[in-house]
Structures are given as C-alpha cells and as structure tokens.
Structure 1
Amino acid sequence: MKKFVALLALAASLAAVAQPKPIKIGEINSYSSIPQFTVPYRQGWQLAVDEVNAAGGLLGRPVEVISRDDAGKPEEALRHAIELSSSEKVDVLAGGYLSNVGLALSDYASKNKRLYVASEPLTDALVWDKGNRYTFRLRPSTAMQAAMLVDEAAKLPARRWATIAPNYEYGQSAVATFREQLKARRPDVEFVAEQWPVLGKLDAGSTLQAITQAKPDAIFNVTFGADLAKLVREGNQRNVFPKIPVVSLLSGEPEYLDVLKDETPKGWIVTGYPWDQIDTRDHASFAANYYKKYNENPKMGSVVGYATLQAIFAAIRKAKTVDNDKLVLAMRGLKFTTPFGATEFRALDQQSTMGAYVGKLDLRGNKGTMVQWRYADGRDYQPTDAYVKSRRPAAAMQ
C-alpha cells in the first residue's frame, strides 16, 4: 500500500512538472460600479483568453487572467495592483476604466517597473504629462476623440457653445481639448456656459436650466452612464433636445443606447460603435465568435476587452518572454489586429492608433442607432511628434 501511495505521489509530482507554468495577466476594472461597460469588457477578454489557449497558449504556456474589482476607486485599484504583483506574481497588469484609476495604476507601474496596458482610461495625461515607459494605452485618447468630433462641430453654424461634463480629470480635459481645438478651427465661436456635475450625481433639471439660460447655439456633452440617461430624459421633456444641437463623447456606444432606448435623441453627433453595420472581415469574425460564445451581440466594452488582450498576446509573441523591460521594447511600434482592424502602438507616446466611429444618433424601431457614420482612424488624430515631446517627460521616452 505504501508503495502504491508513493507511486501516486510520484505521478502527481511528474504531472506538475510537465504542466507548464501559466502566463498570468492581472486585470483590474470597475466591475461593480460601471457594469454596463465592464461586464461586456470581461466577456471580451475572456473570449480572447479562450481562443489563445485553444490554439496552444503563448510560448508553450497557457494564459490565465486574474481579475479584480476596483469599484471605481483609485485606492482600491492600487491595493489590487500590489496584491496581484506580490501574491499572485502576475506577469503583466491591464485594465482600468475611469481616468483617475488609470493614472493610479500607471503611477504604480512606473514605480515598480511593471508593464501596464490601460484599456479604457482616456485621459491625455496617461501618455503625456504623466506618461511613463511602462504604460501603454489602447483606446483613442480624449484629445483624439475630441478632435474627431471637432471635425463635425466646426461644420455647424453654431457660434455660442455650452459644455456639460463630469467634474474629474476626464471631463475637465475633454472640455479643455474640445474648446481649444474648436476655437482653432472656428475663431468666431465663444463658450457661454459650463456645468460640472459630480460624476454619478447629475441634477439634470438644474444643469439644463443653467445651460439654457445662456442661450447657446450648441452643447458639448461629456456625461455618460446614468448621468447621460438623466440628461437625455430631462432634455427631451423640456424640449431642449433636439432643439439645441449636441456633440457628445461616447454616446453612440451600445452600452448607453441600450439604456436610452426610444428616448435616444435624434441628430446628436457622437463617437460610438455601430456594431450591426460594420462589414469588415476582422469585425465580422470577432462578432460571430462573440455571439457564439455569449448568445448576445458585442458592445464597445467587448471590443476593448478583446483588443487589450490581443495587444498583450502580440507583445509576448514578439518579445518571446514576459520580462517586462523586454515587453516594453516589443510594445513600442507593435502592430496587432483588433476588431476595428490593424492597429499599432506609437513608439513616441505609447498610444495606440485604434480609432473610433463618428456619426449621428437616430431611432430604428424603439432602439437608438448610429447613422451617417464613418471610421475615424486614430493615426489621423494623433498630435505631432513635437507636441508630444513638449508634453511627455523625457524619461518616459527612454
């Protein structure tokens, strides 16, 4: 009996030796506070993990994602980053939704020489003023998406503009960038009112009352999630929409249109994701596989989650290691494929060239949709090398 037990122990030991150690990715996001985006996001990265493991993994090793919920709080994200690095021994960090959370993770990455691939945080500071060599960002930045919208806003006859944005880094930088770029294109415009509601606590009635008293010709909106739904509902009831044209960041994404339903305001100029109208090969393959796995259509979060992991996989293949300093070098100029097509990380500021769809909101049946849309390639909206060098710390480019 003792011999039999010993043989079993030996067999188990040999099996453990034969099983390659997984490549671990520590993923942190606001799952409990922003589920409308982060649940599809998690499904997107899980699809990517399933696909790569079905194909044999990376470097002959399986891929494992260890996920944590930051509840939308920078201090929680930092706590998880420490735990994932020290206890779970993850090879790479990824994720983030809110800009302040992304900045906290980026600061941790810099101080601990840990590769961090920021999936969603849009703040320009992430790759410019507070950029560092260990942080890369997937989605088009606030400045890039604002520039995409300015292309359309500049065509409007509107001269008097008002702004509504959440009072934290993302909202502040979005408004500042939009104002700067629109005035550069249209020196005749003026900004006559601004409202800065606390994120998640918008008083739509008082906000719109203050805005309309200034008699603007158009509004630039940066609210999202529950705040966006409140704003739209109140604006529809007061006949503010569609009377006053609106240019709005992110509002064409399915996560928000699914909530607005038949209240979707017609004619808003937005960035978004018309998933049901994109017929490229890369997107069709992704959408079909996503539907097969989850029995639902993809959302913007789904694309971001999937593309974040695709970028990390491509870097590991290129570097042939998970050594973080070698991964940083592999990530600079890295070319990889997303559901939106071929993408790369610009070496200078470590911002990806992933773009966004720009169009107008409309109703189809009782659901919101995007019409008259175009794909704005991120390559066309990145700032010049000279501008980046004036904003990004020299140490971050070493």
Structure 2
Amino acid sequence: MKKVIQSVIKSGLVIGSLIVMPTWAADTIKLGEINSYKAMPAFLEPYKKGWEMAVEEVNAAGGVLGKSLEVISRDDNANPGDAVRVAEELRSRERVDMLFGGFLSHTGLALTDYARQRKIVYLAAEPLTDKMVWEDGNKYTYRLRPSTYMQVAMLVPEAAKLNKKRWALVYPNYEFGQSAAATFKKLLSEAQPGVEFVEEQASPLGKIDAGSVTQALADSKADGVFNALFGADLGKFVREGNTRGLFKDTQVVSLLTGEPEYLDPLGSETPEGWIVTGYPWSSITTPDHNAFKKAYEDKFGEYPRAGSVVGYAAIKSIAAAIEKAGSTNTDDLVAAFSGLQVGTPLGEITYRTQDNQSTFGTFVGTTALVNGKGALVDAYYVDGADVQPSDEEVAKLRPAQ
C-alpha cells in the first residue's frame, strides 16, 4: 500500500509546489469525503443523506468557528489506489482541512496509511477493520463505527447461550471477513470451551457461488453458522439457504444483517430467528433519536437507515472536533479528537485516547417477518465502551506513536 501512495504522490496528477493552488473562501471549512458510492449504494446513499442533513444543520446554526462547512465528495470505485489518488487530489488541489468517509476495509486502510504519510486527519466513518485503529493505527486516523471486534463481541454472548458445539463460518474473503471469522472463533472458544469449528467458506467479495457455499455448510452438519456476508452476497446466500432448507434446523449468528440496508432487499425472503447486529429504526424511542428520525423523514420523505446515522454522526463529530480545537490546524485537530465527546442520535460517544476508536454502539436482536418484510425485533443497544479489549491488549496491538 505504501508503494501505491508513493506512486500517486509522485505522479503527474500531483506535482506539489509546481501546482498553482486555487484560492478558497476564508469563511469556509473544506472537508474531503471519499467513498464507494457506485459499488455500495444501498448503504452509502442513506449515509450521504445523513451527512448532508448534518452539514445543513451545522451551517444553519452558524457553522463552526463562524465558518460554514463545505464537503467535497469523491468516489473511490471501491479501489485502494483510487482512494489514495482522490485523497491526494482533495488535499493538494481542493485544499481540504481534513478527510472523512470510507466503506470497505481495504480502502479504509489505504486512507489510514495516506493520513499517516501526509499528516492529515482522517475520520473513518464506516470501515470496520480492526487494523485501522490497532496494527496500522496512527495518530491522524480516528474511527466512528463499532469495529469488527466490537460487533463480534456483541454477538458472542448470544451465540454462547445457544450451546451449539459444531459451528461453520461463511464470510467475504478480504480483511473484514477474515478478521470477523478469526475474532468469532477466538471469543466463542473463550466463552464456550470445547466448541468446534467444522467448516469455513471464504468467498470472493461480490462473487459468491451461493449454491456450492450453502451445500458445503449443509454437508458439514454444523448446528450453528456464523455469517459475515453483506450486500448482494448476503441476498444470494439467503436465497440458496432458504431453497435448500439450510436455516430450518441451523441457528445463524450474523454481522450487520439487522441493518435496513440489508433487510429491505431481502423482503419476504428474510430468514427468521437469526441473531444479528443492526438498526431497529422504528422502535428506538429516545428523544435524540426521535428528533433525528423526524428531521430525516421531513427532509427526505423516507425513514433513516444505519448509514444515515453514521453519516450524520460523522459530521457532528467533525464539527465538535473543530470547535474544541479552535482551528483546523492538523495538530490541534489531533489533540481535539483524542477523548472527544459527541452527541449522536444513539447517545453520547467518546473517541478513546487508547486507540482513536469511538464508543459508538449498535443493536443486537433477531430477524423476523413483520407484515411480509424483514425486521429487527427484540433488539437492545450495546454501548461500544462495553465491548472493547483491555487497555493492555490494545497497547500490544497498536504501534507506539
């Protein structure tokens, strides 16, 4: 990845001091946003609406430090090299004050390394990879959403309660999926000694052969399945699993499936009784969420999705950090993000000083069919602060700054 970044920096597209930089408005704070909009529209279209609404709210209230926020957004084509290329364009040509965004783990890691090399603050909104704040972590990179480790840790207590001995795993074969599977095996083995992992199916991202994967899981005779598939891969897996009766006598524990971005496309095919993480937008009744939900529905004429909350909370975090820093200077922003407390539609969060990970949580519940559509029911919120490894473990994983 370092070679990719160095190649982009040295390319003819970016010539550093040889470029005559455009002027920009002194009363505007520019933010560069990078994401895989064309590749992952189900999540990222609501996410964009979320950050757009937050920008409007912040600016309507007077902006930050008396200046308006302006977001300049670019698509990374779900490609790490493109993510770095547009990041350099945003930094050198557009003169953005910081970066945010990201969806897939490999593009998020590319931006993490870019932030380290170019010394620019990057708030990772969505990428879940643990490496972002641990092995590859740096003082310039912060992460909003609960990580892979955190979300798996939320599910493991429920998985252990099932007392299933033989487990199979299915996941996308890239950093997020590999990390999710490894963490599930580690944490479940600790919670339930003697558990067996009898089958693993790692499919290329976006290219699952759902028939053969489903058959392999059925042949394993596992009585529990851990799933980390999402998007179109999840839909194909569910369809084949329903057709072949895989889920009839096999309990599934699944990351992300309870988010409306993934439940909505499943519709009447939604398998019932899966234990999942997700976002039960219609049943959250806290004042903060009620206000967010009403504003979002009034503006867009639709209910919010998980991505909507993430995009909204990302801008609120950035605004709070700039306000606390008193400037957009990189060193001031780094200091401001460390220990930053921010209000979100799901309650207050803190960006931990240990690893720059926020304490943003999510919900655990079960899938069900409600009026012929997929829904997350019996859900409860898990605070991200309650599913973190110890400070000693983090210190071993994260490089010295």
Q: Same fold (TM over 0.5)?
A: yes
Q: Note the alpha carbon deviations across 1:297-340, whole angstroms, 9 max, x for none.
A: 00001000000111000000101100011111010000001111
Instruction: Output aligned runs, 1:35-54, within 5 Å.
Output: 35-54=41-60
Larger radius of gyration: 1
Once superposed, which parts of structure 1, at least 4 consecutive aligned residues long, lie more than 2 Å away?
Answer: none
2:140 matches 1:134: yes
Name the counterpart of 1:328.
334
Residues 116 and 138 in structure 2, CA contact (< 8 A), matched pair in contact too: yes
Name the counterpart of 2:197.
191
Q: Secondary structure at the match of 2:162?
A: coil
Name the counterpart of 1:10.
none
Residues 296 and 303 in structure 2, CA contact (< 8 A), matched pair in contact too: yes
Residues 20 and 60 in structure 1, CA contact (< 8 A), matched pair in contact too: no
Q: Secondary structure at the match of 1:298?
A: coil
Q: Secondary structure at the match of 1:93?
A: strand
Residues 223 and 249 in structure 2, CA contact (< 8 A), matched pair in contact too: no
Residues 247 and 271 in structure 2, CA contact (< 8 A), matched pair in contact too: yes
In structure 2, how many angstroms separate the alpha carbons of the residues matched to 1:21 and 1:372?
47
In structure 2, how many angstroms separate the alpha carbons of the residues matched to 1:50 and 1:366?
36
Instruction: Output aligned runs, 1:182-261, within 5 Å.
Output: 182-261=188-267
Q: Note the alpha carbon deviations across 1:42-99, whole angstroms, 9 max, x for none.
A: 0000000000111111111111000001111111110000000000000010000000
- From 36, 53, 62, give the equivalent of 1:30: 36
In structure 2, how many angstroms separate the alpha carbons of the residues matched to 1:293 and 1:329?
35
Identity of aligned pairs, percent?
56
Structure 2 counterpart of 1:278, which letter? I
2:107 matches 1:101: yes
Instruction: Output aligned runs, 1:133-172, within 5 Å.
Output: 133-172=139-178
In structure 1, how many angstroms separate the alpha carbons of the residues matched to 2:374 and 2:220?
29
Give the Å deviation of 1:211. Answer: 1.2
Q: Secondary structure at the match of 1:259?
A: helix
Q: Secondary structure at the match of 2:203?
A: coil
Name the counterpart of 2:289.
283
Q: With the length of structure 2 as denominator, give the TM-score of the two structures.
A: 0.93
Count residues in correspondence. 379
Name the counterpart of 2:343.
337
In structure 2, how many angstroms separate the alpha carbons of the residues matched to 1:73 and 1:280?
38
Structure 1 counterpart of 2:32, which letter? G
In structure 2, how many angstroms separate the alpha carbons of the residues matched to 1:152 and 1:321?
45
Give the Å deviation of 1:20. Answer: 4.1
In structure 1, how many angstroms separate the alpha carbons of the residues matched to 2:302 and 2:328?
34
Q: Note the alpha carbon deviations across 1:194-222, whole angstroms, 9 max, x for none.
A: 00110000111000111111100100000
Residues 242 and 265 in structure 1, CA contact (< 8 A), matched pair in contact too: no
In structure 2, how many angstroms separate the alpha carbons of the residues matched to 1:318 and 1:34?
33
In structure 2, how many angstroms separate the alpha carbons of the residues matched to 1:148 and 1:77?
30
Name the counterpart of 1:360.
366
User: 5+ unaligned residues in a row in structure 2: which ranges?
Assistant: 1-22
Instruction: Output aligned runs, 1:348-387, within 5 Å.
Output: 348-387=354-393
2:400 matches 1:394: yes
In structure 1, how many angstroms separate the alpha carbons of the residues matched to 2:26 and 2:292?
29
In structure 2, how many angstroms separate the alpha carbons of the residues matched to 1:76 and 1:300?
26
Q: Secondary structure at the match of 2:56?
A: helix
Structure 1 counterpart of 2:302, which letter? E
Q: Note the alpha carbon deviations across 1:166-205, whole angstroms, 9 max, x for none.
A: 0000000000000000000101201000001100001110
In structure 1, how many angstroms separate the alpha carbons of the residues matched to 2:248 and 2:266?
15
2:348 matches 1:317: no
User: 5+ unaligned residues in a row in structure 1: which ranges?
Assistant: 1-16
Residues 254 and 274 in structure 2, CA contact (< 8 A), matched pair in contact too: yes
Name the counterpart of 2:27.
21
Name the counterpart of 2:83.
77
Residues 49 and 311 in structure 2, CA contact (< 8 A), matched pair in contact too: yes
Structure 2 counterpart of 1:276, which letter? S
In structure 1, how many angstroms separate the alpha carbons of the residues matched to 2:307 and 2:377?
20
Residues 27 and 94 in structure 1, CA contact (< 8 A), matched pair in contact too: yes
2:321 matches 1:304: no
Structure 1 counterpart of 2:303, which letter? N
Residues 123 and 143 in structure 2, CA contact (< 8 A), matched pair in contact too: yes
Give the Å deviation of 1:373. Answer: 1.0
Structure 2 counterpart of 1:67, which letter? S
Instruction: Output aligned runs, 1:110-129, within 5 Å.
Output: 110-129=116-135
Residues 242 and 267 in structure 1, CA contact (< 8 A), matched pair in contact too: no
In structure 1, how many angstroms separate the alpha carbons of the residues matched to 2:335 and 2:79?
30
Give the Å deviation of 1:147. Answer: 0.4
In structure 1, how many angstroms separate the alpha carbons of the residues matched to 2:36 and 2:289?
26
Structure 2 counterpart of 1:22, which letter? T
Residues 242 and 266 in structure 1, CA contact (< 8 A), matched pair in contact too: no
Q: Note the alpha carbon deviations across 1:15-61, whole angstroms, 9 max, x for none.
A: xx9x7431000000000000000000000000000001111111111
Q: Note the alpha carbon deviations across 1:264-316, whole angstroms, 9 max, x for none.
A: 00000000000000000111111111111101100001000000111000000
Name the counterpart of 1:179.
185
Give the Å deviation of 1:157. Answer: 2.3
Q: With the length of structure 1 as denominator, give the TM-score of the two structures.
A: 0.94
Name the counterpart of 2:277.
271
